[in-house]
């Protein structure tokens, strides 16, 4: 037991934030997510862009001055990118196009990053496919 405690201590101090995110990351259960409520407007969000297929809203915990999530309104099995199939090709393109529209609206076309976290090892926490659009500051490379 003491050694187990030591290991968790080492992890926490090497990168506390990553470790807590990884610990909070869950597997894909296919259960409805909080994004359904945001899409249905049962929970308020700051919407930046909307069309019949896509919704873009500000992340509640922004990691950059601009941090917007772009989601398909209909999840259709796309809990994560790793579940993408041929039938999703159109919506995948629409999501990327919406990311560009969002970047343009936010005035960050000179430099922005689009991120998809896929699965527990990438710290995915919400199992409804979403693109993170990040910008408004110098982005670092490589991402962690």
Q: Catalytic residue numbers?
A: 130
One residue of 11, 81, 123, 136 binding ligand TR5 per CB under 6 A: 123
CA 81 to chain centre: 11
Question: Which DSSP letter does residue 41 get?
Answer: T
* Structural contact between residues 81 and 118, judged by C-beta atoms closer than 8 angstroms: yes
Residue 57 is encoded by which pair of tokens? Answer: 């809203």
Interface segment toward ligand TR5; rule CB under 6 A; list 9-17, 92-100, 123-131, 135-143 = 123-131
> At which residue do the structure tokens 């407007």 appear?
41
One residue of 78, 103, 106, 117 binding ligand TR5 per CB under 6 A: 117
- Rule CB under 6 A: say whether 80 interacts with ligand TR5: no
One residue of 2, 61, 90, 143 binding ligand TR5 per CB under 6 A: 61
- Rule CB under 6 A: say whether 125 interacts with ligand TR5: yes
- Rule CB under 6 A: say whether 43 interacts with ligand TR5: yes
- Rule CB under 6 A: say whether 45 interacts with ligand TR5: yes
**Which string of DSSP letters, residue by residue, matches 54-94?**
EEEEE-SS-SSSEEEEEEESS-TT-SSGGG--GGGHHHHHH
Q: Taking the CA atoms of 100, 102, 103 and 107 in sequence, report the sign of the dihedral they define.
A: positive
**Do β-strands 54-58 and 47-50 pair in parallel, antiparallel, or remain unpaired?**
antiparallel
Interface segment toward ligand TR5; rule CB under 6 A; list 7-15, 83-91, 105-113, 119-127 = 119-127
- Rule CB under 6 A: say whether 81 interacts with ligand TR5: no
Q: Which residues bind ligand TR5 (CB under 6 A)?
A: 34, 43, 45, 59-61, 69, 117, 123-126
């Amino acid at each position: 037991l003491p050694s187990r405690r030591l290991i968790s201590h080492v992890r926490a101090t090497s990168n506390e934030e990553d470790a807590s995110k990884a610990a909070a990351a869950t597997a894909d259960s296919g259960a409805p997510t909080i994004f359904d409520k945001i899409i249905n407007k049962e929970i308020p969000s700051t919407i930046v862009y909307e069309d019949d297929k896509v919704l873009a809203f500000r992340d509640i915990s922004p990691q950059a001055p601009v941090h917007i999530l772009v989601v398909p309104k209909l999840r259709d099995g796309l809990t994560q990118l790793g579940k993408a199939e041929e039938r999703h090709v159109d919506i995948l393109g629409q999501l990327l196009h919406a990311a560009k529209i969002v970047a343009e609206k936010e005035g960050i076309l000179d430099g922005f990053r689009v991120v998809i976290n896929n699965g527990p090892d990438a710290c995915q926490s919400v199992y409804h496919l979403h693109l993170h659009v990040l910008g408004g500051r110098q982005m670092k490379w490589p991402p962690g």
